[in-house]
């Protein structure tokens, strides 16, 4: 059990938890900013969490759902107030309704996380600041302290499992709920480099090509909200052609880009007969490069299954290998 002390200050309205780990600070930090890792310990073992958004940048937002053994759900959110990687971050943590909006029936808590080196490796000090003594007592009565102890007891297993999250692993896909999928990969490059590679048409045409023998003759791209997007691929031998069209709906360079997307073809140049997806890209600096997290929301589970069955992950991996070898290495 990593927790070494839990202190309640009823005058300052704080709950302070200190935990020690036998890994470097950077390894512990990465476990908190990577949605694949934090959802393995943010919540008691019987209430595992799923993060559908995790920005890990000042001004960003995280959304998570804890699901109990009977299928009951508890939703929450973070509003990221400050980030000083890999030393500290502060968030406003609150309960949420099923649609992700704040549940104002419960108090919010300002949580401050401080990561420091220690004789063992690293120490994490978490200070939860409540707006009043009543709020502190209410959340403690709801089992907040016991939940934190149970949740943090799972961190050791996550941080020891470096291989599952290290740079060099291929693109992976995780299903989130009934209609979403998250694509993740660590790309060897800075956040700024990876961002530019995803929004600059001249760079996209160098790496986002799929299998050998294909080119991208049309690439209209950018990061301005409201900008229309269009990419078209062509098999240079057969002339076969397809592509995607959409629009930018949210942009916060160089960390987050949200777009819509429909598949287009010569027979359906506007994609009117194709289902639309919402694609949320988040870039976070981690050990080894930049964590690329791409959450895709499909109209339904059937469409999700059909798209994933096309070999989407394998195609994306081919592209990201080319990005590292051709664009970023150069």
With 90 as the cut, is the pLDDT of residue 36 above it?
Answer: yes
Task: Write down all domains in the chain, each with its CATH number in brackets.
Answer: 3-163 (3.30.530.20), 172-328 (3.30.530.20)
- What pLDDT does residue 100 have? 85
Contact 154, 40 (CB under 8 A): yes
User: Would you place residue 191 in the very low, low, confident or very high pLDDT band (cuts 50, 70, 90)?
Assistant: very high
Distance CA 72, CA 246 (A): 35
Q: How confident is the model at residue 330 (pLDDT cuts 50, 70, 90)?
A: low
Q: What's the rounded Cα separation, in Å, for the pair 277 and 229?
A: 14
Tens digit of each residue's pLDDT (9 = 90 or more) over 61-91: 999 999 999 889 999 999 999 999 999 999 9
CA-wise closest residue to 255 among 38, 55, 64, 84 = 55
- Reading the block at residue 250, the tokens are 């949210």
Query: Cα–Cα distances in Å, from 242 out to 41, 151, 275?
Result: 42, 46, 15
**Torsion angles phi and psi, residue 231, rounded to 5:** -130, 135
Strands 3-9 and 61-67: unpaired
Q: Is the pLDDT of residue 329 over 70?
A: yes
- Tens-place pLDDT, residues 235-262: 999 999 999 999 999 999 999 999 999 9
Beta strand pairing status for 228-235 and 214-220? antiparallel
pLDDT of 1 > 60? The answer is no
Q: What is the pLDDT of residues 109-155, one digit of tens each?
A: 999 999 999 998 999 999 999 999 999 999 989 888 888 888 888 99
Q: Dump pLDDT digits (tens) for 87-113.
A: 999 999 999 998 889 999 999 999 999
């Amino acid at each position: 059990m990593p927790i070494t002390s839990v202190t309640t200050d009823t005058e300052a309205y704080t709950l302070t938890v200190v935990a020690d780990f036998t890994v470097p600070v950077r390894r512990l930090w990465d476990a908190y900013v990577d949605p694949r890792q934090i959802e393995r310990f943010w919540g008691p073992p019987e209430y595992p969490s799923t993060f559908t958004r995790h920005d890990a940048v000042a001004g960003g937002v995280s959304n998570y759902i804890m699901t109990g053994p009977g299928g009951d759900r508890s939703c929450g959110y973070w509003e990221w107030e400050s980030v000083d990687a890999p030393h500290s971050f502060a968030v406003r943590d609150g309960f949420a309704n099923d649609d992700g909006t704040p549940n104002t029936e419960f108090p919010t808590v300002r949580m401050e996380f401080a990561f420091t080196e220690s004789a063992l490796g690293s120490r994490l000090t978490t200070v939860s600041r409540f707006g009043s003594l009543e709020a502190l007592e209410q959340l403690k009565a709801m089992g907040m302290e016991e939940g934190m102890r149970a949740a943090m007891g799972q961190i050791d297993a996550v941080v020891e499992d470096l291989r599952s999250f290290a740079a060099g692993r291929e693109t992976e896909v995780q299903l989130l709920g009934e209609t979403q999928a998250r694509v993740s990969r660590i790309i060897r490059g800075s956040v700024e480099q990876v961002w530019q590679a995803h929004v600059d048409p001249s760079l996209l045409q160098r790496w986002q090509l799929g299998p050998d023998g294909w080119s991208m003759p049309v690439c209209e791209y950018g990061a301005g909200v409201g900008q229309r997007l269009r990419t078209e691929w062509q098999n240079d031998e057969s002339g076969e052609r397809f592509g995607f069209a959409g629009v930018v709906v949210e942009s916060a360079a160089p960390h987050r880009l949200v777009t819509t997307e429909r598949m287009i073809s010569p027979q359906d140049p506007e994609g009117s007969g194709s289902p639309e997806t919402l694609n949320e890209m988040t870039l976070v600096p981690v050990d080894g490069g930049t964590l690329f997290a791409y959450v895709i929301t499909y109209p339904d589970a059937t469409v999700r299954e059909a798209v994933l069955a096309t070999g989407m992950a394998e195609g994306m991996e081919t592209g990201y290998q080319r990005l590292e070898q051709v664009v970023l290495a150069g």
